[in-house]
Amino acid sequence: MRDSLQVLSTSRGFALKEKGASFGLKPRQPGLECHSIHLADGFEFNVVLRQPPRSNIMDFQMETEGLEFWRQDRLTPAEVAEGCFRPENVVGSYAVYHKKGPKAFHLFRPQMVDAVGRKAWGKVVIDARRELLRVIMPTEFLEKAVYPIRRAAGLEFGYHTAGATTFLVGSDFVLGFVATPASSGDIVDLNAYFTQVVGNARKMALYLADGTLVSPQCAEKTDVVTAAWEAFTPTAALAITVQSYVIAIFFDYNGLDTILMNYDTSGANASKYRTSGVAYPTWPSPITWLDSTRKYSTYANYTASAVADKMFQMF
């Protein structure tokens, strides 16, 4: 978050202010439970639903000055064919720009998560003329949800970008991006972006910075994946705190060149890996990591503890 950005938050809403521009939200419906949190690189706002709502629509009074809102729709088939990629949390989101200047922040697509970790994407619609921001929640999800629904936008940490480069995994391999969650909480799932033509076995887990394996880990998968995100769910409750983790994936090499892992390259050490001395399926612990400037495409979704669950995510 930029030092020039002033954040004002209350139990009923918030306001972001910068020279010549401002953005604020507060619910139009009475009685909604709202929370907000400052992150190291952003700001989040959440509405907690402790029982089924009367409507699947939540309206917010939007107060804005000096900003323009540009909706990011799903890519067209032609754009996909050209190699363009847009993550699911960006589809239907809004890029927010100063009217006569650079980008101010990004308002990501809301995602609902209930008490047992079931998730559904919502829809956000902005009508700047009417000073209205509307969130539309899937009716079927609300009917089947286990309450409370504690957040309507995904809390996550890691590298949630499909890297533009791939490398061929030629042996049993443990690798992962290093990241720190903004708050303590419980893991919903771990995710990685890769290709496995034959369907080699693989699984995911968290490591601490000192190489200690965090328990529990995620169940193994063997299905075929072609250039896509795959989610791995922990076998039991997995609690996290505010510290560095390696969001690791462990590949079983079967002697065939069928595994491609995605990454981008950075100018500093961003990830960890180990191939020598590891043998699938036994997670090494402790593990002696090697540093990498590759930003491996791995990230984690989680629900934050207590009132740290947030709704709208902005960066």
149-158, 195-204, 298-307: range with lowest mean pLDDT: 149-158
What do you get for the CA distance between the two ends of the chain, in Å? 7
Enter the tokens of residue 91: 């589809």
182-191, 250-259, 301-310: range with lowest mean pLDDT: 301-310
Distance, in Å, from the CA atom of 194 to the CA atom of 260, rounded to the nearest integer, reads 6
Indicate the domain borders of the chain.
6-153, 157-303
Provide the pLDDT for residue 14. Answer: 63
Distance, in Å, from the CA atom of 163 to the CA atom of 297, rounded to the nearest integer, reads 6
Strands (E), 90-170: 93-98, 103-107, 111-113, 119-121, 123-127, 132-136, 155-158, 165-168
**Would you tell me how many other CB atoms lie within 10 Å of the CB of residue 8?**
12
pLDDT confidence band for 203 (50 / 70 / 90) = very high
175-179, 192-196, 205-209: range with lowest mean pLDDT: 192-196
Q: What integer best gives the mean pLDDT of the chain?
A: 83
* Positive/negative CA dihedral, 89, 34, 303, 240: positive
Provide the pLDDT for residue 100. Answer: 78
* Residues contacting 22, CB < 8 A, separation 6+: 15, 16, 63, 64, 65, 66, 67
What is the mean predicted confidence (pLDDT) over 47-60? 88
Enter the tokens of residue 273: 């890996």
94-108, 215-229, 299-313: range with lowest mean pLDDT: 299-313
**Cα-based torsion angle of the residue sequence 99, 100, 102, 106 in order, rounded to the nearest 10 degrees:** 0
- 61, 138 Cβ separation under 8 angstroms: no
Q: What percentage of the chain carries pLDDT values higher than 90? A: 37
Provide the pLDDT for residue 99. Answer: 86
pTM, two decimals, is 0.57
What is the mean predicted confidence (pLDDT) over 115-129? 85
Distance, in Å, from the CA atom of 203 to the CA atom of 277, rounded to the nearest integer, reads 18
What is the mean predicted confidence (pLDDT) over 251-270? 85
What is the mean predicted confidence (pLDDT) over 116-125? 84
Distance, in Å, from the CA atom of 171 to the CA atom of 67, rounded to the nearest integer, reads 51
Alpha helices in the chain (DSSP H): 77-81, 139-144
